[in-house]
């Protein structure tokens, strides 16, 4: 089975990381000014402090150059009449209902756009952890077109979702589906809480960007990534390391600092099992390219170090993080798209993804 036909769509608004971090400092300051009714002097002091904190803990522009956003507010940069980050009214911004509605509208429009000229797949798997609105954009597209396509929601798995979704798609194809389309719509920019000034939240809010991508699983195609093996594992005693939960003002994330180390502890054993499942000798790790979910710069550094990989082996993962930030489950497919366009046929691709659980997921491909 081959993954092929990668088509990414850029979100509506693209912000340089420098400008995005300025906005982040400004929205946190404006939120605090509302919450604590700050006067001009106190507000200026808070702004300076916030800029300093973000300068120290946020993902810097040398690691992430720009990120896609879907909320108009961020592009406009003002505060009155914002659709989500109306922090002069509520320091947290809009409630979950408004965020879900906007998600629904944007995702509905995206499905219509990305399928403007595309034909009906047998199965359409919609993947997201950043918006729960049914009927989904996928369902509405299929109903509007009168397609016989089956729609499946693979929601709320988090950053690692691309791997289990391939497993589901391979299952569908073994039941007779000739083309399974997989569509990720991750609108992370809908889920900031500007009233939560903790370091951990500033890191998260400087890291995630929006990503929209679709691709297909088919038996044959002129080029693509041929699937050799899949592997998934939950890491014991790490349940508290990462949480993703429906909250009052969008989704809430918690993220422990030691996630890279907790993943690192099981990584070698995990990769050995992945190659074993594919029947590929472990020595081929050396000439494999690694598509690592770039949760953040430290994740890639950690994987590179633990598995003793060269810079070149993780270059595509670092480049996608640099160009777009962490786009949750849409990130790894963006890396696959780059590798499908650039690698020589025959190259092995080891894919690794991580998310709540902690869950570690892997796929081994050969570029065709």
Neighbours of 255 (CB within 10 A): 17
CB 96 to a second copy: min, Å? 5
Nearer to a second copy (CB atom), residue 195 or residue 289: 195
Q: Give me 64's structure tokens.
A: 């992430």
CB 56 to a second copy: min, Å? 28
Nearer to a second copy (CB atom), residue 55 or residue 171: 171
CB 279 to a second copy: min, Å? 15
CB 326 to a second copy: min, Å? 16
Neighbours of 306 (CB within 10 A): 17
CB 224 to a second copy: min, Å? 20
CA distance 300 to 84: 32
Q: Give me 214's structure tokens.
A: 């679709």
H/E run at residue 317: helix 315-324
CA distance 348 to 343: 9
Nearer to a second copy (CB atom), residue 162 or residue 358: 358
CA distance 7 to 214: 5
Nearer to a second copy (CB atom), residue 164 or residue 297: 164
CB 57 to a second copy: min, Å? 24
Contact footprint for a second copy (CB under 8 A): 95-97, 99-101, 104, 129, 131-136, 139-140, 142-144, 146-158, 164, 167-168, 170-172, 174-175, 232-239, 242-248, 251-252, 355-359
Nearer to a second copy (CB atom), residue 163 or residue 291: 163
The answer to whether the Cα torsion of 295, 296, 297, 302 is positive or negative is: negative
3-state secondary structure at position 218 = strand
The tokens 């944007």 sit on which residue? 106
CB 95 to a second copy: min, Å? 4
CA distance 358 to 111: 31
Nearer to a second copy (CB atom), residue 52 or residue 276: 276
Nearer to a second copy (CB atom), residue 14 or residue 232: 232
Which residues, including other chains, have CB under 8 Å from residue 132's CB and lie 6 or more apart?
100, 155, 156, 246
């Amino acid at each position: 089975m081959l993954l092929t036909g990668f088509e990414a769509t850029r979100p509506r608004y693209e912000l340089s990381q420098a400008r995005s971090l300025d906005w982040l400092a400004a929205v946190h300051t404006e939120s605090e000014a509302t919450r604590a009714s700050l006067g001009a002097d106190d507000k200026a002091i808070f702004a300076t402090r916030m800029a300093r904190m973000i300068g120290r803990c946020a993902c810097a522009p040398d690691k992430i150059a720009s990120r896609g956003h879907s909320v108009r507010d961020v592009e406009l940069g003002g505060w009155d009449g914002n659709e989500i980050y109306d922090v002069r009214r509520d320091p947290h911004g809009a409630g979950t209902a408004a965020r879900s509605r906007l998600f629904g509208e944007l995702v509905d429009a995206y499905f219509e756009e990305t399928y403007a000229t595309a034909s009906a797949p047998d199965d359409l798997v919609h993947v997201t952890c950043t918006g729960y609105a049914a009927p989904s954009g996928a369902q509405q597209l299929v109903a509007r077109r009168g397609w016989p396509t089956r729609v499946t929601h693979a929601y709320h798995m988090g950053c690692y979702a691309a791997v289990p979704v391939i497993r589901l798609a391979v299952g569908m194809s073994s039941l007779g589906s000739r083309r399974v389309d997989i569509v990720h719509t991750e609108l992370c920019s809908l889920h900031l809480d500007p009233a939560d000034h903790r370091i951990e939240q500033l890191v998260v809010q400087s890291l995630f960007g929006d990503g929209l991508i679709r691709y297909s699983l088919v038996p044959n195609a002129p080029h693509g990534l041929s699937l050799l093996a899949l592997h998934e594992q939950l890491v014991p005693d790490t349940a508290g390391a990462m949480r993703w939960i429906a909250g009052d003002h969008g989704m809430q994330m918690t993220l422990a600092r030691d996630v890279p180390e907790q993943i690192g502890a099981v990584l070698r054993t995990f990769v050995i099992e992945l190659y074993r499942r594919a029947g590929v000798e472990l020595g081929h790790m050396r000439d494999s390219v690694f598509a690592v979910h770039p949760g953040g710069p430290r994740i890639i550094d950690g994987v590179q170090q633990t598995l003793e990989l060269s810079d070149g082996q993780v270059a595509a993962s670092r480049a996608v993080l640099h160009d777009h930030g962490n786009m949750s489950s849409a990130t790894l497919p963006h890396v696959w798209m780059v590798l499908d366009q650039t690698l020589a046929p025959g190259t092995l691709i080891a894919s690794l993804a991580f998310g709540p659980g902690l869950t570690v997921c892997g796929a081994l491909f050969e570029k065709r």
